Structure 1
Amino acid sequence: MPAAAQAAAVRNGDVSAAELVGSHLDRIADVNPRVNAVTQLMAERAREAAARTDARRAAGAEPGPLAGVPFTVKETTAVEGVPTTMGAARFRDLVAEADAPPVARLRAAGAVPIGHSNVPTLILAGMHTRSELFGDTVNPWDPSRTPGGSSGGDGAAVATGMAALGLGNDSGGSVRIPASFC
């Protein structure tokens, strides 16, 4: 289901946020070993956020327009308490003290970060998503091809249903190219 339909299902009580997050975590476990798009899985944190969403909904509070929708976050974008590696070994322990504004906004809308996604090392490698820290992400439809661009991890994650949304960024095609390739 598209992200909007997933959120509507959670808001309407057709599915719990916990079930939605759980199904995406299962999908990551099944698919990610083949495509290597999700680099740092935030499973426990995602389950806790989903439980909070379900509790808000059960208490009659509005869970948000993106209630329970799992999203990946490009390795260049800060998620509080998680290393922002930029795909480089030297930044492996660079733990973010706060969410980047787009992550905070998605959380405020009820969405749930489920994992970081792969990027070229320091986003300098051009069209292929290969990092020294996490290796190659492959195109989910043809592993001999690139997922494209520096947001290739997000493109592959969304295309394969590992996440409903991917939070990439774009200045020269970094989101548009993976969206097209994947």
Structure 2
Amino acid sequence: MGSPNEPNQMALATATRDGRPSLRYLLLKGHDETGFYFYTNYNSRKGKELADNRGPPCACTGRRCTAWLPSRVTLPRWTLSAATPTSNRARWTAKSAPRSARRAASLLARKSWNRARRSLSERVTAEGAECIDRPEQWGGYRLRPDRFEFWQGQRDRLHDRLQFRRQADGAGWTYERLAP
């Protein structure tokens, strides 16, 4: 059982087509020079909301919702893209990916289930040996940071707010001070 304070835990905010926001917690599973990665069922609510976004999929993580970012980083914004098939295969077969998680993802992707925890756990255990193929609708997203804002509170309430935005050409970052 995972800890509520897992170091790779993050909150991901998305929105429906009509602009209704939703937030859920998930686990960051990797990073490289191109961004940060999480994996999910593309047919899940978050997968559908990301696919339904007009324009490129975007998301936001909230202050203190990403344990791996300093608490003074506020509202980082990200551009999302689907992870490559190679990345999806690598994550599915990685030694760090628990077999139980792969069994659960495979089972949930191919069968309907009732929402009783015990029933779900029993099915994963009973059918787990045959449920290790990566489902077609399971894969990752790459989060590419577009903006970070750093906040430092001051007693006089003239807080320091510094924003870094990725330049349009992606070659660097623009720095600016924001109003307190």
Please confirm whether the aligned pair reaches a TM-score higher than 0.5, indicating the same fold.
no
TM-score (norm 2): 0.24
Between 1 and 2, higher relative CO (CA 8 Å, sep ≥ 6) is seen in 1
Q: Could you say which structure has the higher helix fraction? A: 1
TM-score (norm 1): 0.23
Q: Which has the larger radius of gyration?
A: 2
Q: Could you say which structure has the higher strand fraction? A: 2
